[in-house]
Amino acid sequence: MKTPALILGGTGYVAGELLRLLVAHPDLEIAGILSDSQPGESVAKAFPHLAPALGELTFCSEAELTALISTLPISALFSAAPHGVSAALIDRLLESAEVAGTAPRVVDISADYRYSTAEAYAAVYHHAHGAAARIKDFVCAVPEHLRTQPAKHVAHPGCFATATLLASVPLLAEKLVSPTIFVSGITGSTGSGRKPVDGTHHPVRHSDLYSYNALSHRHIPEITACAAAVSGIEADFAFVPHSAPIARGIHVTVQATLAPGITITTAELRDKLRAFYSHSPFVRVLESAPRIKDVVASNYANLSATSNGRTIAVMCVLDNLNKGAAGGAVQWMNRLLGLPEHRGLTAVAPGWT
């Protein structure tokens, strides 16, 4: 039998990508999708490209989803709700499930459970955490960096964080570099959400490339904490993000100085990365420079690297909506439910997008 899947924050881009993945998943089936602003409305109306697969599915209210989760012995709960909303919403649903004796598994794609303390979260987002007592039940990491499961639920890192961690954690864990990491990242417009704003409005972004929040992006503390949890090293990440005139995709370049006494060639560096990710079905290390078109709409991340004997550069590309959000969340949920990690996620990129 398939496990019922529930989605919070049902009208955004990440929710749409979750729906696209779930309708084809062999072991999960969509049982409910929450939109308090559009209960009873057709889900296909919000996502016309998914209409052939969604049938008569409609959005439900929080009350309806609460009643549903209380009747399901086990369920897969994905939250694509906004930051600052997700934590309290998840908490209320888990409280109802606990009273009913049901056991949902949660993957939160918002930032609400990515930090280990409420104080660390508030320092970044400048408001109180919505359910501080629930933080202990979550762990934040990319699937490739945490082989065991020390918590009931998972907070999936952000899209920029996922790409940066995939590129930088092996360098820190293998003690190849000094702990100052320079990151230049480029992202597509879907990373900013569905509501048009100056930074994502097409006439502003078209045929242009520009940086924003240089050295002060909110993902920096998240990246630092996740990297330290895996590598044991609290590195200094100097991150400069850029907006690109594309809809989907992330490209990061991570640079660092080789640690004292370390010498490594480009070929040796790539072999180190391959060995580090040898048990990771969605990470591929290439001989050539990775390209966004080769991963867009897939759950794969492509890396490559080079060394000049003094400095290392690692490049990583992934799809921000898939591997950086919905796909990574499904990958985590597969593990929470005891399914093969790759289940429902092996479709390759379409290319020529």
The pTM of this model reads: 0.97
> Which band of pLDDT confidence, cut at 50, 70 and 90, is reported for residue 191?
confident
pLDDT digits (tens, 9 = 90+) for 273-287: 999 999 999 999 999
Catalytically active residues, by annotation: 159
Q: What pLDDT shows up at residue 150? A: 75
| CATH class of the domain defined by 3-140 | alpha beta
Give the per-residue SS3 of the chain: CCEEEEEECCCCHHHHHHHHHHCCCCCEEEEEEECCCCCCCEHHHHCHHHHHHHCCCECECHHHHHHHHCCCCEEEEEECCCCCCHHHHHHHHHHHHHHHCCEEEEEECCCCCCCCCHHHHHHHHCCCCCCHHHHHHEEECCHHHCCCCCCCEEECCCHHHHHHHHHHHHHHHCCCECCEEEEEEEECHHHHCCCCCCCCCHHHHCCCCEECCCCCCCHHHHHHHHHHHHHCCCCEEEEEEEECCCCCCEEEEEEEEECCCCCCCHHHHHHHHHHHCCCCCCEEECCCCCCHHHCCCCCCEEEEEEECCCEEEEEEEECCCHHHHHHHHHHHHHHHCCCCCCCCCCCCCCCCC
Q: What would the pLDDT profile of 102-131 be if each residue is shown by its tens digit?
A: 999 999 999 999 999 999 999 999 999 999
> Is 159-319 assigned to CATH 3.30.499.10?
no
Mean pLDDT of the chain: 96
Give the pLDDT of residue 205.
86
Residue 196 has pLDDT above 80, yes or no: no
CATH 3.40.50.720 residue window(s) in the chain: 3-140
pLDDT in tens, 128-146: 999 999 999 999 999 999 9
Residues forming CATH 3.30.360.10 domain(s) in the chain: 159-319
The average pLDDT across 334-341 equals 96
* pLDDT in the model for residue 204: 83
Mean pLDDT of 51-70: 96
